[in-house]
A and B are shown apart, each in its own frame.
Chain A
Amino acid sequence: MNKFNIKNVLEKNIMTIALFAVYVLFVLLAAVIKGTNMLDPSIVTSLIEQNAYVFVLGAGMLMCMLTGGNIDLSVGSFVCFAGAVAGLFSVENNIIKNTTPTPVTLLIVVGVGLAYGAVLGYLIAYVRIPPWIATLAGYLAFRGLGTQILTKASTTNAISNFPSSLTHIFSGKLFETGWGELNIPCVALGVIAAGVVIFLNFKARANKIKKGYEADPFWFVLLKSILIAAVILFLAIEFSLDGGIPVVVLWIAGVLIIYGIITEKTTIGRHFMTVGGNAEASRLSGINNKLIMFAAYLNMAILTVVAALIVTTRTGAANSFAGQEFELDAIAACIVGGVSAYGGSGTIIGMVVGAALIGVINQGMSLVGVDQDWIKIVKGLVLLAAVVFEILSKKNREKKSAMKKAAAATAKTQET
């Protein structure tokens, strides 16, 4: 193991630190300039609810990008299309008069996602169409299809009034209480989650010591655990004051935990990274590259359906403009989160931090009263800065190791 080194730790977590700094900065700015309290429970909850889709889509986009910097441009349009399909079956409209029970609606929407994902995956993995072209076709076609469905289905070009049996699955609150009351189950869940995180951190350290590996120092693990627990408890209290845990938070947590485990702990996740790291080496090591590519796009389509249901039930309507630029938000979250644009490396946690950073900048600037156009300009610059930083620090590291290598070589030649 590499020796524990504060500088390395800071360098590795630079984006997380930036996230905290930017958040604190906007809390102060909002308070000073507009007198708004950004820590207000409803503002914190809406920050998470508004960005929920980015976390879900980001997980799928991460899997695609791992396979070699491949992206899916059709995500936003498919959100619109899947939302329209959901509305078509669950709400009475001009095309289908009878509503379908919610479980069947869900099956249909997921089925549509699977079908699209399978076709897309097949075209990309087996017919070898470059991903950005295949998904560009989807980007155009599904926006058109979704809009057509909505215009035919309703005179208002939108389907609303979704049945509560559907909306409760993806939005609303769990353990709902009045606003401003301290919601006990919510706080209790927060305490449990924080406890689990602390326990896992120390268990991992104890395990390392038991096996005789080098472990991080005790104080560092303690500090790390306290910080994470503090964030969880902060959110739990904010949620509880805002009337309960947003259902969508459970979806986000579920998706992030599942994909975190897949990418970090399973052979499947490892295969994704290997394909992106060196496709030929991966093939000759017995990995089925095509199947991995297929799986990446199939998986993306399924998560897109989840995101579509989250967004549609949150806004309460399927619109023809739903999901615009979602694909770009997901890609940006990955890139800012340090996912390699060439594939082979990237983590769920990185993506989450990237998504949160963009989300905080978005909300913070709006609260401070910055014009939307300027928000876009700043977001663009942040994206660019993240990539430039990534490349420069990589170059720096390479230079260092090359110098070390050269020094070793000269030492060797001098010996002989």
Chain B
Amino acid sequence: MAKVLLEMNSITKTFPGVKALDNVNLKVEEGEIHALVGENGAGKSTLMNVLSGIYPYGTYEGDIIYDGEVCEFHNIKDSEKKGIVIIHQELALIPYMTIGENMFLGNEQGSKWCIDWNRTYAEADKYLAMVGLSDSSKTLVKDIGTGKQQLVEIAKALAKNAKLLILDEPTSSLNETDSRALLDLMKKLQREEGMTMIIISHKLNEVSYVADKITVVRDGSTIETMDSKNQEISEARIIKGMVGREITDRFPKRHDIKLGDVMMEVKNWTVYHPEFSERKVCDDVSINVRAGEVVGIYGLMGAGRTELAMSIFGRSYGIGISGELMLRGEPVTLKSPKQAIEAGLAYVTEDRKGNGLVLSNSILRNTTLANLGGVSKGTFIDKDKEYEVAQEYVEKLKTKTPSVEQLVGNLSGGNQQKVLLAKWMFANPDILILDEPTRGIDVGAKYEIYCIINDLAKAGKSVVMISSELPEVIGMSDRIYIMNQAKIVGEMKASEATQENIMACIVGVSGESSADGVGSEA
């Protein structure tokens, strides 16, 4: 019965400067639930985008063989015609339309020019019953919860005659019960409809509950595929596959580390989501960092790390923030990014294009952005001084550019990251929170960024480094906090940390070595 429905052979996808996928192979049999697991940026979503035609045929190398024939998808429509339907992590429903309207968007029922609403809603109800949703298809999407919205997404996919359903992090915005219901629905669809599904997830307990086969993706390559028929797949086993990478000396060493006083301490920090006001994005978090120390915060995407950092940085994220923030031993209240900068804090964002840099401006202007006063007399900018400052940082951080007048949008990711760092270094903070400082940049540039971080620590700055790359956290930090689902779930010295026991903190499996480290200093 095990007919191979989908085969992806040696898929390679390159972005300018980065190899996102390197000779990836994936085989999915008909009627199975196949899970893709891996760290952030491992290439799972890229692989699925290749499959669904978002990255059209010709922009990647390798073959996609689906249902026995080689496919060349040029867009999503092509792949949907074959029955490959992808449900993205971000829900793509329109709130002020009914469930029925949403389900048949772009797939309208009726004649060519006229929508048959009776048929639309009748069909919609049929598929809603299939996913076990009892709401009328005439309900507005905004009036149902996110759990039900996810079911509508699945019903929408079924209405497109899906044969292969791809779910990208389907439970990331769902609570425990809704998640379980969704996973059970997946099993039901598999049983009753013979549906083939690929699920991408970070939640390993869910993966081992639902999947028949698990493929681990790491650094753009498929590492292994585990089959639950042949072996019991435990979470520990999955972790081993995910993190089995060797830590070589990709990280510059720091010598004679001198730790000073505690510079920043956050106590019982709780933050709520700005839109879903009952959802906690940080729950009773307490962390501290000393002068000259590099503290890593490890957590998977959505763990609440960015939310924690931004809420500390002048309450630039979240609502209902409670807890205590102490800088240099003194309790402070920072109400705006401006106050935070004045208090000696810097937040180097993970999203350099979105909220870090002004891409349409020059390196010069971006460098002085957070400390324009530093190159001005009163309100007048001293352009010569500004030029010198920008030039100095370009040389210091080895930013590759023809001139400081170059627009930041024209730089590579690594060089953009350096400009972002320069901007915050020029603001002369005592405490730097670096959010994913090496995301999306190549290995060489990474090493240079690590050197900069070490220099900062050596100069007595406190560095909080948020990262979802385990080797990076272990290689760079003096101390590591582990964050999961809005909570700090572990703390350990870098010398005691291994990839396995950090991952164990996250999945709640107490490994032997992790027990010592967790909470020892709390």
The reply to whether A281 and B358 contact each other, CB–CB distance below 8 Å, is yes
* Distance between Cα atoms of A281 and B350 in the complex (Å): 12
- Tell me the A157-189 residues at the B interface (CB within 8 Å): none
- Taking a contact as CB atoms closer than 8 A, the residue among A267, A283, A344, A345 that contacts B372 in the complex is A267
CA distance A199 to B314 in the complex (A): 47
Asked whether, in the complex, the Cβ of A412 is within 8 Å of the Cβ of B358, the reply is: no
Which A residue sits closest to B342, measured CB to CB? A286
Among B184-192, B267-275, B380-388, B451-459, the stretch that binds chain A is B380-388
Residues B383 and A265 in contact, CB atoms below 8 Å apart: yes
B16:A274 contact, CB within 8 angstroms: no
For residue A358, CB closer than 8 A to chain B, the reply is no
Interfacial chain A residues near B410, Cβ < 8 Å: 398, 401, 405
Question: Which residues from B are CB-within-8-Å of A211?
Answer: 384
Q: Which residue of A lies closest to B366 (CB)?
A: A281
Q: Which of B84-92, B152-160, B207-215, B333-341 contacts A (4 or more CB under 8 A)?
A: B333-341
CB contact between A284 and one of B356, B365, B381 (< 8 Å): that residue: B356
Query: Closest Cβ of chain A: how far from B81's Cβ, in Å?
Result: 32
B418 to chain A: closest CB distance in Å? Answer: 16
B403 neighbours in A (Cβ, 8 Å): 1-2
Name B424's closest neighbour in chain A (CB-CB). A285
CB distance from A403 to the nearest CB of B (A): 11
A286 CB contact (under 8 Å) in B338, B356, B381: B338
Q: How far is the CB of A323 from chain B (nearest CB, A)?
A: 32
Interface check B379, CB cutoff 8 A = yes
Query: Smallest distance from the beta carbon of A164 to chain B beta carbons, Å?
Result: 38
Smallest beta-carbon distance A390→chain B, Å: 13
Chain B 397-430, CB within 8 Å of chain A: the 1/0 string?
0000011010000101000000000010000000
With a cutoff of 8 Å between Cβ atoms, the chain B residues found around residue A280 in the complex are 354-355
Using a Cβ cutoff of 8 Å, how many contacts connect chains A and B? Answer: 96
The 8 Å CB contact of A1, one of B17, B314, B337, B405, is: B405
- The residue among B355, B373, B403 with the most chain A CB atoms within 10 A of its own CB is B355
Determine how close the nearest CB of chain A comes to the CB of B363; give it in whole angstroms: 12
Main secondary structure of the interface of A (DSSP, over half): helix
Chain A residue contacts of B337, Cβ below 8 A: 283-286
- Taking the complex as formed, is A266 at the interface, i.e. its CB lies under 8 A from any CB of chain B? yes
What size tier do the contact residues of chain A reach?
35 or more
B-contact 0/1 string along A256-294, CB 8 Å cutoff: 000000000111101101100110111111111000000
The answer to whether A284 and B355 touch across the interface, beta carbons within 8 angstroms, is: yes
B357 within 8 A of A: yes
- Determine if A381 is an interface residue (Cβ-Cβ < 8 Å): no
Q: Give CA–CA (A416, B385) in the complex, Å.
A: 39
User: Given the complex, which residues of B lie within 8 Å of A268, measured CB to CB?
Assistant: 379
CB proximity of B311 to chain A, nearest CB, Å: 13
Give A311-343 interface residues, CB cut-off 8 Å to B: 340
List B residues 200-229 near A (Cβ within 8 Å): none
A226 within 8 A of partner (CB): no
- Residues from 379 to 412 in A contacting B, C-beta threshold 8 Å: 398, 401-402, 405-406, 408-409, 412
Q: Cβ of A207 < 8 Å from any Cβ of B?
A: yes
Q: Is B481's CB within 8 Å of the partner chain A?
A: no
* Residues from 1 to 48 in A contacting B, C-beta threshold 8 Å: 1-2
A406 near B357: Cβ-Cβ < 8 Å: no
B376 close to chain A: CB less than 8 A: yes
**Chain B residues near A284 (CB-CB < 8 A):** 313, 316, 337, 347, 349, 355-356
